[in-house]
Amino acid sequence: MDLLHDKISGLYSKFLWPSVFSAMVTTIYSFVDTIAIGKGVGPDGAAATAIIYPILGVASLIGFLCGIGGSVRLGKARGAGEEIKAHAFYTASFFVTLVLTAISWPLVIIFEQEIFTLFGANDLLMPLVLEYGDWVVWTFPTFIISA
């Protein structure tokens, strides 16, 4: 793949389809998860998952912010033949991802109940939100890396 000389439509397709597939998998995961919990626990379970999903959005934001930004700079440097600079952009992107994860993950753990209350959890839903939310909160870095 030559970013400077290949046709833009071909390059666009090479980047488009993995992105579309990734978005579809995430959407299907959320949809099926909500249905399964709604069927198993009931409407309160579905409401609890809706309260938790913004945490996944924050994790995706961090991952996309660092991953897409870093990859654009890396690709531009590689296209210009500046391999050392490209490696530096990759390292910087990875380091910023680690730093943002190290800052945000403990904050999510410490302020878990306050965050879920802000997102709409009440006394009735909080036990369900915490039960399911613990899985999301403790795997928070995984969601960042997968974005």
Using the predicted structure, report yes or no on whether residue 124 has a pLDDT greater than 80: yes
Structure tokens at 44: 């309160």
Using only C-alpha atoms, the chain has a radius of gyration, in whole angstroms, of 19
CA dist., res. 105 & res. 87, Å (int): 27
Angle among Cα 33, 34, 36 to the nearest 5 degrees reads 65
Q: Where are the domains of the chain?
A: 8-146
pTM: 0.73
Using the predicted structure, report yes or no on whether residue 5 has a pLDDT greater than 80: no
CA dist., res. 99 & res. 45, Å (int): 33
pLDDT value for 147: 66
Using the predicted structure, report yes or no on whether residue 104 has a pLDDT greater than 90: yes
The interaxial angle of helices 43-79 and 8-41, nearest 10 deg, is 160
